[in-house]
């Protein structure tokens, strides 16, 4: 063909001037694309070559020439294709309101979607945090703390409200026991005093006739 004959002449006679390919002939720009991808640091698919300047681009056979063409605007890197997340954002907002979460949209089991273990961990951490807070504030002593800690571990309290009610009950029971103990001590002391007075009277009676 005419293009091949031109190349052969160029090979045989290097002093011949570099001629442009004839109009209407397809020119391979694989080399220029590869060099441009190397210069612009991107893939060959991102390279745009000006179709109106194919002849001039085909003459560029070095990275320096490609850089010059890039400065002239005959070659440039295509912009990044935008993958919009606007629809995803809107759908996530709707899901937060409870839309699109019916039975037809669920793929996993209930335990796979929200494991029982996760629910247990959340609940037990809330209960233990409350117990520690009340112990540090001296609202409960270490004995009540340990008792309620073990009850919480045994799944005794379903939420914080039940635990607080139990704490109040325990404190009330302890107050009642303390009051009963104080009453018992007071009764014993009164009984002791009564016995002492009785013994004193008897001793007085027994000593009276002797005088």
pLDDT digits (tens, 9 = 90+) for 32-77: 999 999 999 999 999 999 999 999 999 999 999 999 999 999 999 9
DSSP character at residue 81: P
pLDDT tens digit sequence for 164-179: 999 999 999 989 999 9
Average pLDDT, the chain: 88
Question: Which tens digits make up the pLDDT trace of 61-71?
Answer: 999 999 999 99
pTM assigned to the model: 0.55
Q: What percent of the chain has pLDDT over 70?
A: 86
Alpha-carbon distance of 152 to 130, in angstroms, equals: 11
Contacts of 115 (CB under 8 A, 6+ apart): none
């Amino acid at each position: 063909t005419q293009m091949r004959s031109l190349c052969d002449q160029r090979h045989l006679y290097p002093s011949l001037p570099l001629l442009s390919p004839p109009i209407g002939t397809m020119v391979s720009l694989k080399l220029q694309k590869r060099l441009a991808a190397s210069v612009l640091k991107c893939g060959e698919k991102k390279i745009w070559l000006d179709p109106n300047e194919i002849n001039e681009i085909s003459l560029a056979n070095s990275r320096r020439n490609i850089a010059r063409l890039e400065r002239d605007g005959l070659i440039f890197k295509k912009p990044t294709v935008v993958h919009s997340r606007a629809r995803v954002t809107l759908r996530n907002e709707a899901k937060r309101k409870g839309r699109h979460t019916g039975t037809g949209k669920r793929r996993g089991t209930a335990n796979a979607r929200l494991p029982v273990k996760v629910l247990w961990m959340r609940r037990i951490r809330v209960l233990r945090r409350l117990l520690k807070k009340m112990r540090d504030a001296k609202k409960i002593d270490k004995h009540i703390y340990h008792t309620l800690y073990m009850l919480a571990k045994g799944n005794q309290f379903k939420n914080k409200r039940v635990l607080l009610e139990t704490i109040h009950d325990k404190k009330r029971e302890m107050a009642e026991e303390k009051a009963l103990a104080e009453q018992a001590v007071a009764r014993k002391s009164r009984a002791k005093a009564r016995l002492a007075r009785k013994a004193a009277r008897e001793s007085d009676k027994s000593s009276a006739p002797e005088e």
